[in-house]
Chain A
Amino acid sequence: MNINLLILRNLKKNMKNYYLYVFALIFSVALYFAFVTLQYDPSMDEVKGSIKGAAGVRTASVLLIAIVSIFLLYANKLFVKRRSKEIGLYQLIGMTKARIFRLLSVENFILYFGSMLFGIFIGFASSKLILMILLKVMGIETSTTLQFSEEALIQTILVFFAIYLLILLTNFVFIKRQTILSLFRVLSSTEEKVKKISLFEILLGAMGIGLILLGYYISSKLFDGDFSTINELFMAMIVILGSVIIGTYLFYKGSVTFIANIIRKQKGGYLSINEVLSLSSIMFRMRSNALLLTVITTVSALAIGLLALSYISYYSAEKAAEDNVPTHFSLTNTEAAEKFKAALARQHIDYQEKRIEVIQVNTDVTDIMETNLAELNFDPSQMSLPVVSEESVNGDIKKDEVLFSGYNDAMALMMSLKDHGEIELFGKNKSFKQHYIGLQDEYVIPFNFSNGGLPTVIVDDEIYQALKNDLNQDIQHDSSLYIGIDINEEEKLEAANTIFQSLSFRENTINYSRIEMSNSQKQVMGLTMFIVGFLGLTFLITSGCILYFKQMDEGEEEKSSYTILRKLGFTRKDLMRGIQAKQFFNFGIPLVVGLSHSYFAVQSGWFLFGTEMWTPMIIVMIIYTAMYSVFGILSVLYYKKIIKEAL
């Protein structure tokens, strides 16, 4: 048998064993190629032009390279290790290390570049679909054509060739370092020996859970006003990150073992087959994979969190626009409004108009403040709030009372208000002590009047007139008039918006179209979501593959145990039940920990991104879980094969 035949035979064998590696490789190349193709596609110009998409796409492609190369290097390391016996054997029969290295390199080359070509083909085929998805989530309508980009091809080949060189280098170092003896031993030395649980480990385990809970606790308090300066807030975030990440590591290192051990102790040595296969194996395995699992968990949590947050803002775009602009269109000067109305009339679009006068009044809200704002460099006794008359909003307010209306969620959480209390409104000369009776949800004026989300004060008309006659000019806006226009028929809204956009208003007038605002937010968040989703998907698949490879290894190593158990008279079904339980924990624990991390990350700051948390977050989590489970199921199927062969 000459060396070429050997290579061919190995390839045939490896293809069967490592089909998932080949799949992952093809997938990575396809994803990368599709992504780079997007970058060079002419229809992306619009995306790039409208918002700084190019930078986003480029950053994402760099991250994509990082994820893919780490994954490929790791997978390669696992495979070389699995083949160490074979390498040792070649050495034993007198092959030089250089020759073995050449053998491996050629094998790798064929496998690698074969998959790469295939991946490029798939990437090309799917790039149009991906582009269509992107344009759809961004709400841009252009026709797409399938274009083969040479730049993308060259870039992909260069990147993956570089990764191939890296793989060669690690293989070279691996072979160089090994002696025949150590090659034979390599598998057994990597896995930690089974040993007793020490008190120290119990402490570590308890500390892990403690640190994670501490991180969660601080994160839930993050925007409650306990951390009021930027520095404190920043410190708190660092502490959360640190304690959660270290906690996660210790959790895998100690807590899982610790909990499993408690359950086991209670059984008093009398274990059922399910417990034998799941508990005892997880107890020892998880500990030796602690670092890997921590990285996987943290990055999954990050991916889920970011994806959920961007989906939250995407999802809330319409609601947010509604809060910011209470009517379909908002204008601030009569001239522009007349121009717009005339244009609408020409197109026979019916509308309703409302005009609200808004004045800015300094207010003392110290008495109704829940939080202490002194540290925020914010003086609650001189807060500039928009004030409108009860008549403009068809309300009825008593003379000595005020009602607040429309308070931004993010602001409301940082500066929470009491249910009632006393406030004082300051005119230029006079001041009015009023009784504050509460806060209503409705937004009555657009956000350019509300100084970044502060509530609107609704007062009795008499008080309003008095304040208006006694204005503090320093804090007034250019315009004190809000002209809101609502289109009667929903279906004509698009047409009205086109007119609104085509009109040239005088500069420095503030005009908003609600639909335009919602669309542009959808575009920004759509692109973010797309990029994060893309990266998240790559990460999910690569980490799923790594866990699966680990399980493949574990399965091979435990094969002898299955032989024993089957000889003792346990059926394949008994063993499969145990394996299912084991895989449920093996894949479930990192998933649950990751989901829980991302839940706490999202809930601590979601209100800064949108108005609805649960629906978008749960959708993201369900999709992630479903895709992740695929790998768990694949690994169970692999075990099924091993158990079948075990006897």
Chain B
Amino acid sequence: MMKILEAAKIHKNYGNKWNKQEVLKGIDVSVDEGEFVSIMGASGSGKTTLLNVLSSIDNVSSGTILINGKEMTAMKEKELATFRKTNLGFIFQEYNLLDTLTVKENILLPLSVSKVSKKEANQKFKEVATELGIYDLKDKYPNEISGGQKQRTSAARSFIHQPSIIFADEPTGALDSKSASDLLKKMSDLNEKHKATILMVTHDPVAASYCGRVIFIKDGQIYTQLNKGEQSRQAFFNDIMKTQAVLGGVQHEY
């Protein structure tokens, strides 16, 4: 199986040389094509920093990141931007839709940079939007639709230009449980049907249980990994809960 993302010995420090804070302490991650991976950890464990670093929004202090075999850490800002445009998709906790654009315009935004014809763009939009169940909302503005619909719009936008990998930062964080499970189902559909590679950060075990693999990080290092394998989602969920209890077990010591 082809590796989409390969990161080795990632370090990330904040602050200056007198007051240094090490957030990531040498993390190795690799994601295969078509995988749905989530990263879990307590707040402050560095999971969002890791996602930002892997998705080129933040730069690493040391270490290498390869996406699709391309070294990303050596790229200049402009190259990075082009790389993000063509190879990466994003879903954020805060929806991150532009208020002044309609649902359709928001979704088609990533296509406007790569010279896709209007006809093809419409075709793709119809496909993705129907799949995510938001086709009927195409002329509405973000403030006219629900949080779940917004997040599905966001998912459609991250997927429309068929990126190598989609990064999702707490996508269910602002949603109620019904909308959250709707979204996660749609995401795993995309993952299965279209072989979309997704890397998701979450602190919600339910969300993580939709994935094929869960990476736990603690204090800037990888703590452990769980593979779903052939077991049911419920069983996987129980595994995740157990691991999380051990991870947060410090509390039980006193």
Contacts and interface: CB of A to CB of B under 8 A. Distances in A.
Interface of A: 193-196, 268-273, 276, 280-281, 283-284, 560-561, 563-574, 647
Interface stretch (B12-20, B105-113, B229-237): B105-113
Given A567-B90, A568-B90, A269 B102 contact: yes
B238 interface: no
B96 A564 contact: yes
Contacts of A269: 102, 104-105, 108, 122, 125, 138
Query: Which 7 A-B pairs rank lowest in CB-CB distance, beginning with the nearest?
Result: A569-B85, A569-B84, A269-B104, A280-B100, A571-B81, A564-B96, A272-B112
Contact of A276 (B57, B90, B101, B142): B101
B42 interface: no
Nearest to A571: B81
22 contacts: A194-B142, A196-B141, A269-B104, A270-B105, A270-B118, A271-B108, A271-B109, A273-B113, A276-B100, A276-B109, A280-B105, A560-B94, A563-B96, A565-B109, A566-B81, A567-B57, A567-B84, A567-B90, A568-B84, A569-B82, A571-B78, A573-B78
A271 B105 contact: yes
A570 B108 contact: no
A566 B96 CA distance: 12
Nearest to B58: A647
State the main secondary structure of chain B at its contact with A: helix
B141 A195 contact: yes
B29 to A, nearest CB: 20
Contacts of A280: 98, 100-101, 105
A570 B85 contact: yes
Contacts of A567: 57, 84, 90, 92, 96
B101 A271 contact: yes
A283 B102 CA distance: 13
Given A271-B101, A273-B113, A569-B82, 20 more contacts: A195-B141, A196-B141, A268-B118, A269-B125, A269-B138, A270-B108, A270-B118, A276-B100, A276-B105, A280-B98, A280-B100, A564-B97, A567-B84, A567-B96, A568-B109, A569-B83, A569-B85, A569-B110, A570-B113, A571-B82
B59 to A, nearest CB: 11
B215 interface: no
A281 B142 CA distance: 15
A570 B88 CA distance: 12
B143 interface: yes
B176 interface: no
A576 B192 CA distance: 39
Given A269-B105, A280-B101, A281-B100, A568 B110 contact: yes
B70 to A, nearest CB: 14
B68 to A, nearest CB: 15
A575 to B, nearest CB: 10
Contacts of A563: 96
Interface in B143-183: 143
Nearest to B116: A270
Contacts of B82: 569, 571
Nearest to A273: B112
A292 to B, nearest CB: 20
Contacts of A193: 143
Contact of A284 (B84, B96, B100): B100
Which of A284, A566, A569, A647 has most B Cβ within 10 Å?
Answer: A569
Given A269-B138, A270-B118, A272-B112, A570 B100 contact: no
A573 B111 CA distance: 18
B253 interface: no
A569 B97 CA distance: 15
Contacts of B108: 269-271
Contacts of B84: 567-569
B122 to A, nearest CB: 7
Contacts of A270: 105, 108, 111-112, 118, 121-122
Contacts of A561: 98-100
B77 interface: yes
B86 interface: yes
A277 B102 CA distance: 14
Nearest to B163: A569
A194 B99 contact: yes
A565 to B, nearest CB: 8
B156 to A, nearest CB: 12
Contacts of A566: 81
B116 to A, nearest CB: 9
Contacts of A196: 141
A272 B84 CA distance: 17
A366 B84 CA distance: 81
Nearest to A275: B112
Interface in B33-65: 57
Contacts of B99: 194, 561
Given A268-B122, A567-B90, A276 B98 contact: yes
Contacts of A284: 100
Contacts of B77: 571-572
Interface string B113-139: 100001001100100000000000010
Contacts of A568: 84-85, 90, 109-110
B27 to A, nearest CB: 21
A565 B102 CA distance: 15
A473 to B, nearest CB: 81
A569 B98 contact: no
A585 to B, nearest CB: 14
A570 B83 CA distance: 10
A626 to B, nearest CB: 31
Contacts of B88: 569
Q: Which of B57, B102, B109 has the most CB of A within 10 A?
A: B109
A574 B110 CA distance: 13
Contacts of B122: 268-270
B83 A194 contact: no
